[in-house]
Structure 1
Amino acid sequence: MSVRELLSNCTFSMLDGKVDTRILETLKCLGFNKPTRIQAEALPHIMLGKDLIGAAKTGSGKTLAFLIPVVDKLLKMGFTKKHGTGCIILSPTRELALQTNNVLKKLLRGIHLSHCLIVGGEKKAKDVLSLRKGSNIIVSTPGRLLDHLENTESFNCDNLKCLIVDEADKLLEAGFEKHITGIISLLPSKRQTLLFSATIDNKVESLARLALKANPVLISVNEDKQSTVTGLQQGYCICSVQNRIPWLFKMLKKTKKFKVMVFFSSCKSVDFHYDFFKNHCGAAVLCIHGKQSQSRRKEAYQSFIDAESGALFCTDVAARGLDIPSVDWIVQYDPPTDPKEYIHRVGRTARGVNQKGSAVILLRPEEEEFVSYLRKEKVFLDKYSFGEPPREVQDMLEELIIKNGLVKTLARKAYLTFLRCYKTHPLKKIFNIKTMDLKLAAKAFGFLEQPDVDFLRSKKT
């Protein structure tokens, strides 16, 4: 029998007698009957106390793969608040930490293990209070955790049994290497360490050598011929740069009964498009990006989770790890930096077992080569046609730019950052600012006259 056939017959009920019955009952109540592949392959090794590297695409069920055995281990060891922290889970972003914490809360129904969420943007005094009382499981971002390890005397992690590094590749991409090194140096060396990542590169391997025992178990479920999940229908649409706003208006209208995530290249572009579509087009839109306050990001994130339909305008801060239920469409309005980022973006839909979703990327005629570029990475796109975009919305935007100073300011900032992103794009052969008509690009932000672009002026010799 093949591994796939063996896993297809697995159920969580098979863990009866091996995992605490309260955990199994909660999984059943939450509708989790069969483990995903990463869960089925990783759980036996983790439950034996082995260090492990788990490589799997986003949406594969990595969170429960580490939460189930960790909660079970602390229960069997009789952990209470007086024992302090038994497990630390590191996440690259506040949103992913919040998401992991939400899953943990559900799993701990009827189980008396204390836990807390420690992330930047929240008051440290609240963290200190939770740590002083004794938090058995901590979900945290690296910067805030290192701060507490170095400066909070009441933080007791002498009994730490498990360190989990989640989305390790994203942690390293975000520049947390020194933080993680500092954290590891301050934690008890006698512990189990689990490292989960969508991709395994040289940096992740170096981190694994630093954090894990020699010869950790490697579980990789990234063996599919395609780089994206099979339930994902994905395509591209060719659109002239000056017709981008009408195209997006039509796209949002077509998908108004669905949940849609729209990716932009910059925070300022998110702000402009959010203001225009929310306040002037009456669209059901939320927005999230890295320069918002923690409270605003948290509110938008939770609102979109709870929504049955509507759009979330976002930057790539939302591209990795976030598990938002029932996202129907992914729209890449601005291009990703590379195929890997494309895959992370579309990974927000068609998540879990037997899930389906749709994705579309907007390209200028000069950028159609990106489709061939993705094909080399085993990502295959169909060509979509959305027909003629409505002219009225473009006229409305152009009139707003003339009459409304706030919208004009937002539009100018968005236009300049749009051009900057093109100017610095890693794939310059495809996303080439030299092939772009800057005056027509300005029309995509409502300008009849092109704003001054000082960073593209020719330098005098």
Structure 2
Amino acid sequence: MDIEDIIKESCFSMLEGKVDSRILKNIKSMGLEKPTRIQAESLPYILLENDVIGAAKTGSGKTLAFLIPVVERLIKLGFSRQHGTGCIILSPTRELALQTFQVLKKLLNDIDLTYSLIVGGEKKAKDLVKLKKGVNIVVSTPGRLLDHLQNTEYFNVKNLKCLVVDEADKLLEAGFEKHVSGIVDLLPTNRQTILFSATIDSHVQNLARLALREDPVIISTDDQTHSTVIGLQQGYYLCPIEQKLSWLYKMLRKSKKLKVMVFFSSCKSVDFHFEFFRNHCKASILSIHGKQSQAKRKEAFQNFVDARYGALFCTDVAARGLDIPSVDWIVQYDPPTDPKEYIHRVGRTARGLNNQGNAVILLRPEEEEFLSFLNNEKVFLDQYSFDEPSGKIQRLLEELIIENGVMRLLARKAFLAFLRCYKSHPLKKIFNINTLDVNLAAKAFGFLETPHIDFLNVKKKKQKT
């Protein structure tokens, strides 16, 4: 029997006698019977307390792959509040930390281990109370964790047994390398370290050398022919920029009973489109972006997780690691910064075992060359065709921009943010501000007359009729 057959035959009940029966009971109560591939391949090594580097596509089930062994080890060692923190789980964003924390909460049902979510945006005084009492498992973001390690004297990590670095590539992309380095320097060296990442590049390898012992087990579940999961149907649509909003309206109308995530390039664009579709098109929509308060982001995330259908308008703050059940469609309304960000966006659907999902990216006809960049990353898209949308919703927006000062201000900010994103796009040869008709781009935000642009040296073309 080869490795593929072993994985197919694996089930969580095979862990009976190897992990605490309460863990198995809680896994079953989550409705899980068979481990995903990354879980099946990594669990034996992590349970043996090896350092592990795990590379797996987003949505592959990495969270339980490290939580099960962590909880089992602390139970076996008889950890209590007096022992302090036995495991730290480091996450790149508050949303991902919250998600990990929620899975941990389910796994610890009827298990007497203390645990806490410690992230930026929350009152530090609450953290201090929890840490003083003693927290066995801490789920945290880098800035807040480093702050406590440096300044909170009763944050007891002397007995730390395990450090988990989750979504390591995202941590580095977000500029947390110095934070992680500072954290590692302040933790006991005699510990197990588990590092998970969607991609393993030279920066992640450098982090691994810093944090892990010399002989980590490396586990990769990457399909050599595809960089996205098999159950994902994905394609592109060549859409003139002035028709994008009408296309999105039609898309949302057709998917009223589905869950859809729509990615925009800026926070201001999320705000504008959210306000328009929610208040003037009566669409069921939530929004998440990095400039919202922590409480608002947390509420929107949880509401979308619990929803049976509806749309979430978001920036790439929602592209990494977030496990949202049953997302039917991913719409990339604005282009990602690079092919890897494309992969992370579409990773919000077709998650877990035997799941299906759909994704579409809107490209201007001049941007079709982006497909060759995706092909180089082993991402292959079909070309989709859609019926041309009616101009009814466009006319509604144009009238609104003339009559409604609040919407006009939101639209102007979103339009200028959109242009700035194009101007600074890393793939300038494809997403080229100089090939963009700014008048037609303005029309996409409802403007019949193009607003003043003070940061572009672009000649305005005559407005097309």
Same fold judged by TM-score > 0.5? yes
Ranges of 4+ aligned residues in structure 1 off by more than 2 Å: none
Residues 434 and 458, structure 2, Cα contact 8 Å, conserved in 1? no
Please state how far the C-alpha of 1:377 moved relative to its aligned partner: 2.2
Q: Does 1:234 align with 2:238?
A: no
Distance in 2 (CA, whole Å) between partners of 1:221 and 1:239 is 35
Partner of 1:80: 80
Name the amino acid aligned to 1:372.
Answer: S
Once the two structures are TM-superposed, the CA of residue 23 in structure 1 deviates from its matched residue by 0.4
SS in 1 for 2:155: coil
**Equivalent residue, structure 2, for 1:173:** 173
CA distance in 1, matches of 2:67, 2:6: 23
Partner of 1:103: 103
Q: Deviations over 1:143-163 (max 9, x none)?
A: 000111111112111110000
Instruction: Tell me, yes or no, if structure 1 residue 409 matches structure 2 residue 409.
Output: yes
After superposition, the CA RMSD in angstroms is 1.0
Cα distance per residue 1:288-332 (max 9 Å; x no partner): 000100000000000000100000000000001000000000000
Asked whether 1:372 is paired with 2:372, we answer: yes
Partner of 1:347: 347
135-144 or 42-51, which deviates more? 42-51
Residue 306 of structure 1 is matched in structure 2 by 306
Q: Which amino acid aligns with 2:299?
A: E
* Correspondence for 1:266: 266
How far apart in 2 are the matches of 1:133 and 1:378? 49
Number of the residue aligned with 2:293: 293
Listed as ranges, the matches of 1:119-198 within 5 Å are 119-198=119-198
1:170 partner SS: helix
In the alignment, what sits opposite 2:60?
60
Identity between Structure 1 and Structure 2 (%):
71
Equivalent position of 1:38 in the other structure: 38
The residue aligned with 1:449 is 449
How far does residue 369 in structure 1 lie from its aligned partner after superposition? 1.9
SS in 2 for 1:233: strand
Whole-Å Cα distance in 2 between the matches of residues 48 and 382 of structure 1?
A: 44
Provide the secondary structure at the position in 1 that maps to 2:106: helix
Mapped contact 2:54–2:195 kept (Cα < 8 A):
yes
What's the secondary structure of 2:455's corresponding residue?
helix
Partner AA of 2:442 in structure 1? A
Q: Distance in 2 between matches of 1:50 and 1:209?
A: 15
CA distance in 1, matches of 2:386, 2:458: 38
The CA distance in 1 between the partners of 2:253 and 2:372, in whole Å, is 29
Secondary structure of the 1:143 match is: helix
Task: Work out the CA distance in 2 between the residues paired with 1:223 and 1:378.
Answer: 9
The 5 A counterparts of 1:311-350 are 311-350=311-350
Aligned length: 459
The amino acid of 1:220's aligned partner reads S
Moved more, 380-389 or 446-455: 380-389
Residue 458 of structure 1 deviates from its aligned partner by: 6.3
* Aligned partners of 2:334 and 2:362 also within 8 Å: yes
- Displacement of 1:15 in angstroms is 0.9
Secondary structure at 1:454 match in 2: coil
For residues 109 and 123 of structure 2, what CA distance do their matches in structure 1 show? 26
Q: CA deviation at 1:2?
A: 2.0
* Alpha-carbon distance between aligned partners in 1 of 2:230 and 2:186, rounded to the nearest angstrom: 43
CA distance in 2, matches of 1:14, 1:349: 29
Q: Deviations over 1:180-213 (max 9, x none)?
A: 1111111111111111101111111111111111
Could you report, residue by residue, the CA deviation over 1:56-91 in whole angstroms, capped at 9, with x for unpaired residues?
111111000000000000000000111110000000
- The farther-off stretch of 134-143 and 388-397 is 388-397
Corresponding residue number in structure 2 for 1:278: 278
Task: Give the deviation of 1:224 after TM superposition.
Answer: 3.7
Q: Distance in 2 between matches of 1:343 and 1:282?
A: 31
Letter of the 1:241 counterpart: I
Q: Distance in 2 between matches of 1:313 and 1:293?
A: 16
| 1:18 partner letter | K
What corresponds to 2:51 in structure 1?
A: 51
Q: Structure 1 residue 457: deviation in Å?
A: 2.6
Indicate the residue corresponding to 1:199 in structure 2. 199
CA displacement, residues 387-428 of structure 1 (integer Å, 9 cap, x when unaligned): 121211111110111111110111001001111111111112
**Structure 2: 5+ residue stretches without partners:** 460-465
Partner of 2:462: none
Residue 456 (structure 1) shift: 0.5
Residues 117-145 of structure 1 show CA distances to partners (whole Å, capped at 9, x for unaligned) of: 00000000111111011110000000000
The DSSP-based 3-state class of the residue aligned with 2:420 is helix
